[in-house]
Structure 1
Amino acid sequence: MQRAGAKRGALPARFFRAAAPVLAADKESLLQLRRRTGLPILQCRDALQRCGGDLTQAEAWLLEQARRQGWSSAPVARERPAREGLVGLLREGPAAVMVELSCETDFVARTTEFQRVVAQAALGAMELCRRAPPAARACSQHFLQPEELAELQTGPGGGPLSEELALAQGRLGEAVSLRRAAWLRVRPGAGFVSGYAHGGPAADPGSGPVALGTLGALVACGARGVARGGARVAALEALGRQVAQHVVGFAPRRVGRARERRRGGEEEEEALLAQEFLHAPGRRVGRVLRAPTPPPPPVSAGVTRGR
């Protein structure tokens, strides 16, 4: 375009030069604004566009909108400790995942909004587990690293989980974060994975197949040569669930052996197989699992706590 009265042959004047940095939003400013406010990327981009790319003005504008519309208390929430929350368990074939989301109050943990995000995190972790290369061992476990947690999606074909966390934090007015996630899987035909979630809320259709609770455990059991779908498999999986309940109740630190050496005159109680079984008082877990009907001892066990 040319300004009125401009000489012929002169370079055209650009009326929107100041807007160029906004339209090509500075990625670093965008990420920094999101970290400061905890708000979704789209809202942060809109704020930068409205404020000509000025980070300080954009943050002030977002905070003012938050106060007016009541859609976020994120900057304040980030300062407070998040000691409540839920775990989510999802089983699929020979694998299972467990995630832990934290919030500040038990009241928020009981909301359908928070539970929905827990379910989305579990679905995202399972999708990552599906894409992971098969392990050489019969049983493998993996705790997601910070960069993997940051890249989780909400499930197959879904968007970034980080966006859902930011939205939930804005709607709920509390700090909401994904603390940790892990999966446990066995080689097909080598066994199965059982799980147990304790103290969960009433079943919510939004969580789908994801089991919710304040405490949870996954246990992998070896059961070779047993056809799936039979009564024996059902009995073995029921026993695996009982072992997972035991893990939640007694919190063993390792699988161990059925008989542990005494230390300081007291029997070691940190090993799963050496503990008295929750469902069979007087009998150790290892002895129960060596019986003819149950499967061989678990090849791995994991536990995480929501509080």
Structure 2
Amino acid sequence: MRRAALSAVGGAAAAATPPGRFFRAAPPVLAADKESLLQLRRRTGLPFLQCREALLRCGGDLGQAEAWLQEQAQQQGWSKATQVRGRRAQEGLVGLLREGTAAAMVEVNCETDFVARNSEFQQLVEQAVLGTMAHCRAAPAPLTACTKHLLQADELAQLRTGPGGALLSNHIALAIGKLGENLTLRRAAWLRVPEGDGYIATYTHGWGPAPAPVAMGAYGALVACRVMEPRPPAATLEEVGRKVAQHVVGMAPTALGTPQDEPRGEEEETRLLAQSFLLEPDLTVGQFLGARGALTVSDFLRFHCGEETPAPGG
């Protein structure tokens, strides 16, 4: 009877309360709100405790929570960057992307091979490649010859992944905050060839599968070519181009040369077209291309992650 009376009194009091006196508070983020927590964790890659704190601070709003976490991670990343700056970072990945008659390649370094295999690091490499490709696409298209452009670390850091995207320097700060290692955007380059008779061959080596369409490895090569007439099938272009790019990775030429060059000896020959072809040692690269009649080479680029390179302008 007493419980019923109290219930009745409560009901009468609620009925007497003016409608304008009701207030609705934002629901707290409880363990039951597991889907939002998991979704935020997938989006950011940050620990569950930080994701839960973000949702609590933002009243359960997923978008606001993600923005808050990114801001915090970036601040912590810049702070962490000052702590790890100067630590040796010679591991990492070379990433490359080919889109039609344009191709971009980057080198991003970290301290350990373990981090190089982390999905967060791979995403950073992908963002750097996309930023470099956007830079390539913004340049005038070549009409008759290959265009090549090299970017040093400071130029690369100022690129964006797309219109309105964040600077790559901000992306690397976020990654440092999450991974806790010294990470560096070391260098990038792109090649672009004329539409119609231009073709770019690519090859990466020394690592496992990467998210398409960006290929990743310890080595990478881009080879700018001109397609011969009559135009061979696409499969032939891909096969011949890939073999030449594979040779560039394996034999590390430093100059192009000409098909008429006489080889100077296997050990000291550094001109691509005069080198003994990696897959058919009885032929030079120039002779191999002449026999196939599919492509001629006009330029190339080769990156080996962690290699010593001459100083800019040296």
TM-score by length of 2: 0.68
Matches of 2:263 and 2:279 in 1, distance apart? 24
Alpha carbons of 1:169 and 1:219: their partners in 2 closer, same or farther (altered >3 Å)? same
Aligned-residue Cα RMSD (Å) equals: 2.5
Alpha carbons of 1:70 and 1:129: their partners in 2 closer, same or farther (altered >3 Å)? closer
| Within-5 A mapping of 1:1-307 | 73-203=80-210, 207-225=211-229, 232-258=233-259, 260=261, 268-295=268-295, 297-307=296-306
Matches of 2:116 and 2:163 in 1, distance apart? 25
Output one character per residue of 1:273-295: Cα deviation in whole Å (capped at 9) or x when no partner.
Answer: 11111121211110011115332
Alpha carbons of 1:175 and 1:267: their partners in 2 closer, same or farther (altered >3 Å)? closer
Q: CA deviation at 1:238?
A: 1.5
Query: Aligned to 2:258, what secondary structure does the other structure show?
Result: coil
1:84/1:103 contact within 8 Å kept: yes
AA paired with 1:165?
I
Matches of 1:289 and 1:70 in 2, distance apart? 49
AA paired with 2:278?
L
Query: Aligned to 2:203, what secondary structure does the other structure show?
Result: strand
Query: Aligned to 2:279, what secondary structure does the other structure show?
Result: coil
Alpha carbons of 1:167 and 1:261: their partners in 2 closer, same or farther (altered >3 Å)? same
Larger Cα-atom Rg: 2
Matches of 1:241 and 1:140 in 2, distance apart? 20
Unpaired runs of 5+ residues, structure 1, are: 1-64
Output one character per residue of 1:181-206: Cα deviation in whole Å (capped at 9) or x when no partner.
Answer: 00011010122101111012333xxx
Matches of 1:123 and 1:70 in 2, distance apart? 22
Output one character per residue of 1:255-289: Cα deviation in whole Å (capped at 9) or x when no partner.
Answer: 112354576x8875101111111121211110011
Say how many residue pairs are matched. Answer: 233
Output one character per residue of 1:24-81: Cα deviation in whole Å (capped at 9) or x when no partner.
Answer: xxxxxxxxxxxxxxxxxxxxxxxxxxxxxxxxxxxxxxxxx99xx9996433321211
Query: Aligned to 1:144, what secondary structure does the other structure show?
Result: strand
2:224/2:300 contact within 8 Å kept: yes
Alpha carbons of 1:239 and 1:146: their partners in 2 closer, same or farther (altered >3 Å)? same
Q: CA deviation at 1:145?
A: 4.4
1:276/1:282 contact within 8 Å kept: yes
AA paired with 1:305?
H
Matches of 2:197 and 2:268 in 1, distance apart? 30
2:77/2:173 contact within 8 Å kept: no
Q: CA deviation at 1:232?
A: 1.7
Q: CA deviation at 1:87?
A: 0.6
Matches of 2:303 and 2:155 in 1, distance apart? 18
Unpaired runs of 5+ residues, structure 2, are: 1-71, 307-314
TM-score by length of 1: 0.69
- Residues 162-171 or 144-153, more deviating: 144-153
2:142/2:192 contact within 8 Å kept: no
Matches of 1:270 and 1:136 in 2, distance apart? 29
Q: CA deviation at 1:223?
A: 0.4
